[in-house]
Amino acid sequence: MPLLDSLISPISHIIDKVVPDPDARDRAKLELLRLENSQEIEKLQASLSAVVAEAGSTDPWTSRARPSFLYVMYAMILWALPMGLIGAFSPSTAQAIATGMTAYLRGIPEPLYALFGTGYLGYSAMRQWGKAKGSDR
């Protein structure tokens, strides 16, 4: 289980940085160790192996699909900056743009938002795994 060993360490380091309470941190690490022997880790390993295979693909469309999707989502989020400037100078124009964008975003199916979240988490986990393994340099 080399993938599992390389996942436990980065997750443990993330817990150290994110959880300020020492008791909660110890409980989280203990739960992580319990998961090590459960089927949840096997499921996680199976799902991450698909991400690893995709990232290592020689096909540029496959290996760049997840990061490209994230860039598009980042661009949509960053659109809030110019909208703030438009709102400062013309609140009615900003309101009309916001109404149109809200209608557009509500038209996007919920599974696509779930796909974004899954892709973001998978991409982040694989980047961390690659850094821990030393292959991501």
The answer to whether 4 touches 41, Cβ cutoff 8 Å, is yes
pLDDT digits (tens, 9 = 90+) for 105-114: 889 888 888 8
Looking at the 3D structure of the chain, how many domains does it have? 1
pLDDT digits (tens, 9 = 90+) for 9-56: 777 777 777 777 888 888 887 777 777 666 666 777 776 776 677 666
CA atoms within 13 Å, Cβ hemisphere of 105: 10
Distance CA 101, CA 136 (A): 37
Helices 110-133 and 2-18, axial angle in degrees (round to 10): 100
Helices 65-78 and 80-89, axial angle in degrees (round to 10): 20
Domain membership of residue 127 as a residue range? 2-133
Model's pTM, two decimal places? 0.35
